[in-house]
Amino acid sequence: MSYVIGAGCVDVLDRSCVEVCPVDCIYEGGRKSYINPTECIDCGACEVECPVSAIVVDRKARKDPDLLVHLEDSRAFFADVLPGRAEPLGDPGGARKLGPIGVDTAFVAGHS
């Protein structure tokens, strides 16, 4: 189990969730943040802190088509090669050491 950030975060990037994450698993794209499902310890601190209620547990996302696309997109953020990068992010072990990634998946980049 992990958490996923949905459409409510696009163009918000409040960072409240980032500040409370004890394992630094929330990465900042250009328009949205992404939770690394491998690094997440399922504590739920981010979910209650999100000011736009964009964060949900992945088992809930799997049952909701609108959230499922964000769950799949979150996996793609870490598994696929993002624009301007030579290789996938993978599991880098913490967002702070990378800083803002500055780009998104094609799905979020094209989100209106």
Look at the block and give the residue holding tokens 């794209």.
Answer: 29
Provide the pairing of β-strand 3-5 with 33-35: unpaired
Is pTM beyond 0.85? Reply is: yes
Q: Which fold has domain 3-81?
A: Alpha-Beta Plaits (3.30.70)
| CA dihedral (66, 68, 74, 76) positive or negative | negative
- Blockwise average pLDDT, block size 10, the chain, 112 residues: 91 93 97 96 96 94 91 95 95 93 94 82
State the Cα angle at 37 between 45 and 82, rounded to 5°. 120
How far apart are the C-alpha atoms of 39 and 77, rounded to whole Å?
14
Domain ranges, ordered by start, for the chain: 3-81
